[in-house]
């Protein structure tokens, strides 16, 4: 049976990715802590996970762990869903590069929305793709002074590296619900860094 795009599957992918960076025991404990919010029960503790990483490892190391875990999460998601989503087949690989990026982002956004219920919108500017995630209204007790969803940055970085054959693109979270914005907005530069 094909794996479904359910919250349960998303949790599995998340756990597999986090495990790879911090070990199995620690991953279970961290995700349990991240799951203790009204938002996480409705959706995915993806943002909350970043807060827990920072609590556990401090600001700088926590950010590093979140980025690396995000990269691992992409790889596990690709293993679980890639074929079913049509992102590993020849049709997809033969698309011209900009279309391949755009289609891949759309597919990932679709999986994210189906599994978590949080809407993701992809848009395009001249120099960047924009990934925008709805806020999670139940999670208002958490506040940060700066954008903090580094795990999503890691996921997007790994995708861009994978889709481009190993190039590195600058990705920044420009607005974050935890820093008071209505959505978390990620900017993916179209031009790779040398
Ligand atoms: Zn955010």
* pLDDT averages per 10-residue partition of the chain, 194 residues: 78 92 93 68 63 89 94 96 92 92 95 86 96 71 78 96 95 89 92 90
pLDDT at 50 (0 to 100): 83
pLDDT at 137 (0 to 100): 53
Is 2 domain-assigned? no
Q: Across the chain, how many H-helices and E-strands are there?
A: 8, 4
Residue 39 CA to ligand 1 center (angstroms) comes to 14
Residue 5 CA to ligand 1 center (angstroms) comes to 22
Is 82 domain-assigned? yes
Is 78 domain-assigned? yes
Is 84 domain-assigned? yes
Residue 178 CA to ligand 1 center (angstroms) comes to 6
Residue 136 CA to ligand 1 center (angstroms) comes to 10
Cα gap 165→28, rounded to integer Å = 32
CATH number at residue 99: 3.90.1520.10
Is 1 domain-assigned? no
Residue 184 CA to ligand 1 center (angstroms) comes to 4
Residue 43 CA to ligand 1 center (angstroms) comes to 14
Residue 93 CA to ligand 1 center (angstroms) comes to 30
State how many domains the chain has.
Answer: 1
Residue 169 CA to ligand 1 center (angstroms) comes to 19
Is 194 domain-assigned? no
pLDDT at 1 (0 to 100): 54
Residue 175 CA to ligand 1 center (angstroms) comes to 7
Q: What is the pTM of this model?
A: 0.92
Is 42 domain-assigned? yes
pLDDT at 35 (0 to 100): 74
Q: Which domain holds residue 62?
A: 7-189
Residue 24 CA to ligand 1 center (angstroms) comes to 26
Cα gap 141→17, rounded to integer Å = 26
Residue 131 CA to ligand 1 center (angstroms) comes to 11
> Does residue 27 contact residue 19 with C-beta atoms inside 8 Å?
yes
Is 36 domain-assigned? yes
pLDDT at 41 (0 to 100): 46
Provide the terminal-to-terminal Cα distance of the chain, rounded to the nearest Å: 42
Residue 185 CA to ligand 1 center (angstroms) comes to 7
Neighbours of 37 (CB within 10 A): 20
């Amino acid at each position: 049976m094909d794996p479904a795009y359910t919250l349960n599957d998303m949790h599995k992918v998340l756990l597999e990715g986090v495990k790879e960076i911090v070990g199995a025991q620690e991953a279970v404990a961290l995700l349990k802590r991240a799951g203790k919010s009204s938002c996480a029960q409705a959706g995915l503790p993806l943002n909350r996970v970043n807060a827990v990483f920072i609590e556990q490892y401090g600001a700088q190391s926590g950010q590093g762990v979140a980025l690396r875990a995000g990269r691992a999460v992409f790889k596990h998601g690709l293993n679980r869903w890639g074929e079913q989503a049509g992102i590993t087949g020849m049709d997809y690989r033969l698309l011209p590069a900009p279309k391949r990026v755009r289609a891949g982002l759309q597919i990932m956004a679709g999986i994210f929305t189906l599994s978590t219920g949080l809407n993701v919108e992809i848009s395009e500017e001249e120099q960047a793709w924009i990934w925008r995630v709805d806020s999670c209204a139940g999670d208002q007790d958490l506040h940060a002074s700066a954008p903090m969803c580094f795990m999503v940055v890691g996921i997007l970085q790994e995708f861009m590296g994978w889709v481009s054959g190993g190039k590195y693109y600058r990705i920044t979270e420009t607005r974050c619900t935890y820093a008071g914005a209505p959505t978390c907005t990620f900017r993916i530069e179209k031009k790779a860094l040398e």
